[in-house]
Chain A
Amino acid sequence: MDKHSLFTYDMLSTTIIWTVAGLLGCLFFWLLGDLMRQGIPHLSWEFISEPPANAGRSGGITSILVSTGLILLICMVVALPIGLGTAIFLSEYTAETHPLATFTGRSLDVLASVPSIVFGLFGNAFFCQLLGLGFSILSGGLTLACMVLPILVRTTEQGFRALPLEYRTSAAALGLSKRATLIHLLLPAAIPALVVGFILGLGRAIAETAALIFTSGYVSRMPTSLFDSGRTLSIHIYDLSMNVPGGDQAAYATALVLILCVLTLNSLAQWMAKHWTYTRRMNI
């Protein structure tokens, strides 16, 4: 191939790559722009601070936000200790080739790719029916915990694995116990990864719909206990757009609130991944 055609080939591939990346960016801005165009007129303080009325066509989303918050809270309170424990087990207490580690790791990978509706069916059969929790915020939160566990475990595990091996060997060479090394050295150093995993998991949970229809239900009134059914933002959007004629404006406004929540969480995760790790290492 001569010099000229090499240059043309290079230019062509560069153009294709830029176009594909640009199209992807356009898709995101088109989606966001459409949401803002149709959602902002309906968005107001009252929309945030008032309960829904007229099947959601009017009023606000206070009870929806409260239910969403409670479900996320249960999800993370349950998922965090289990996720952290499993990640520590996988990264610090077993070799990657150990049969139990391989089994747990593969199970997590399969769970991560299971469609959320399957989690919904499982949650309904196990939490709602077998444990008798019924359609409730508790059932929804526990189902979501099962769903976010794989991502939480894998991110935290990678965070531990990314720590220099020298930390462990030099701690061992000082006669420090594994417990002390874990608590005082590895865990503080892995906190940024843990936070990022937590926020990514939270991001996945907050956007979930299918798994919650079968578990937390879709009652839109303000919950008075964790055993009450509760409707999350995503289910509210689904219900308004599919079952409520004239609910499109409220659906767009709710979607905008949801997208803003997800964007905030993602930005927070990215900021922490980039900056917090560095500043933590350099300014203790």
Chain B
Amino acid sequence: MRTPRKTPTPYIASAYSTRNIALCCDPDPLIQTRDLSLSYGNHQAIKNISLTIHRGCLTAIVGPSGSGKTSFLQCLNRLTDLLPDCTVSGRATIENLDILSPTIDVLQLRRRIGMIFQKPNPFPMSIQKNLEFPLKEHGVTATHLIQERIQRALMDVGLWNEVKDRMDTSALRLSGGQQQRLCIARALVLSPDVLLMDEPCSALDPLSSGTVEDLIFSLRGQYTIIIVTHNLAQAHRIADYVGVFWSQAQAGELIEFAPTHAIFEHPQQDLTAAYINGIRG
């Protein structure tokens, strides 16, 4: 079995040159869900989602709006706990750790499973404090260690050279693309195993979107990434696996899950074929 790369790789601007990429690793299950369902009050948002996310791979979740993609992501780091009237059932595990267990340390789980949102959301603090604050709260207090990890995270997202001389200025002064990369760095600084990305490029201009996409691709292998995207071309370009969500009877279901080339070249479901060909969805 090929193990994922542990050391950070330098940021490569044009990381994807070919559209059909080989799997980044041999399948090694990290996250597994079985019959995962989620309801908001009486409305069921996702129903019986069973899939396996492999370590070090980039898995794209695609599907029309309202098919429960974001709800699925939120189950995996228990952000659903913040939503009123939200109930989750079924099973979700990360390395045999029951994610849905009421006794699990949710803060540690979220440290292990980081999340990037659609809209860049840096805190109203300096760039330095944006990265320092989560580290300190998770018990990293040695100054040299903090600086080392901040620099490494910023280098991993290709932001170090752009901000190293203005670490004390407000993060809100950065451009949209820079803010999103800072948010990714803020997640990376905690050394997570998994990164959940909820349409991380959709609120950005095309140029910034390309930069962030390159960055996500460069993180593949070091981190297990699950990305929700509406951009099928993006999923095709960067993902190892693709899961297609579809809203059936107003509840999102997983209609197909397979390696990217299989989904795009030999879809097994008519709906998948119609969706990737732009006929449905």
Contacts and interface: CB of A to CB of B under 8 A. Distances in A.
Given A166-B117, A284-B124, A174 B134 contact: yes
B163 interface: no
A95 interface: yes
Interface string B114-154: 11010101011110010001100110000000000000000
Contacts of B274: none
A172 B81 CA distance: 10
Interface stretch (B1-9, B105-113, B221-229, B255-263): B105-113
Contacts of A284: 124-126, 129, 169-170
A175 B138 CA distance: 8
Nearest to A282: B170
B108 A185 contact: no
A166 B110 contact: no
Contacts of B207: none
A168 interface: yes
A177 interface: yes
A170 interface: yes
Interface string A161-190: 000101111111111110010001100110
Contacts, number: 76
Nearest to B168: A284
Contact of B108 (A167, A175, A280): A175
Contact of B110 (A95, A167, A175, A184): A175
Nearest to A95: B84
A185 B171 CA distance: 14
A281 interface: yes
Contact of A166 (B121, B125, B129, B170): B121
B187 A174 contact: yes
A176 B107 contact: yes
Interface residues of A, number: 24
B172 interface: yes
Contacts of A184: 133, 137
A283 B124 CA distance: 9
Interface in A254-284: 280-284
The majority secondary structure among interface residues of chain B is helix
B190 interface: yes
B82 interface: yes
Contacts of A280: 124
A169 B79 contact: yes
A174 B186 contact: yes
A277 B108 CA distance: 33
Interface residues of B, number: 33
B119 A175 contact: no
A281 B133 CA distance: 17
B31 interface: no
Nearest to A176: B137
A188 B106 CA distance: 25
A174 B117 contact: no
Nearest to A189: B124
Nearest to A185: B123
A161 to B, nearest CB: 15
A121 to B, nearest CB: 41
Contacts of A185: 123, 125, 133
A173 B77 contact: yes
A168 B82 contact: yes
Given A174-B190, A177-B137, A169 B109 contact: no
B152 to A, nearest CB: 17
Contact of A281 (B106, B169, B170, B183): B170
B164 interface: no
A270 to B, nearest CB: 22
A172 B124 contact: no
A169 B117 contact: yes
A281 B173 CA distance: 9
A43 B151 CA distance: 63
A200 to B, nearest CB: 23
Contacts of B183: 170
A19 to B, nearest CB: 43
A180 B139 CA distance: 12
A169 B82 contact: yes
Contacts of A177: 107, 137
B107 A175 contact: yes
Contacts of A172: 79, 82, 110
B100 to A, nearest CB: 16
Interface of B: 77, 79, 82, 84, 106-112, 114-115, 117, 119, 121, 123-126, 129, 133-134, 137-138, 169-170, 172-173, 183, 186-187, 190
Given A169-B117, A174-B186, 12 more contacts: A169-B79, A170-B121, A170-B123, A172-B82, A174-B111, A174-B134, A175-B110, A177-B137, A180-B137, A280-B124, A281-B170, A284-B129
7 contacts: A166-B117, A172-B79, A175-B137, A184-B133, A184-B137, A280-B124, A284-B169
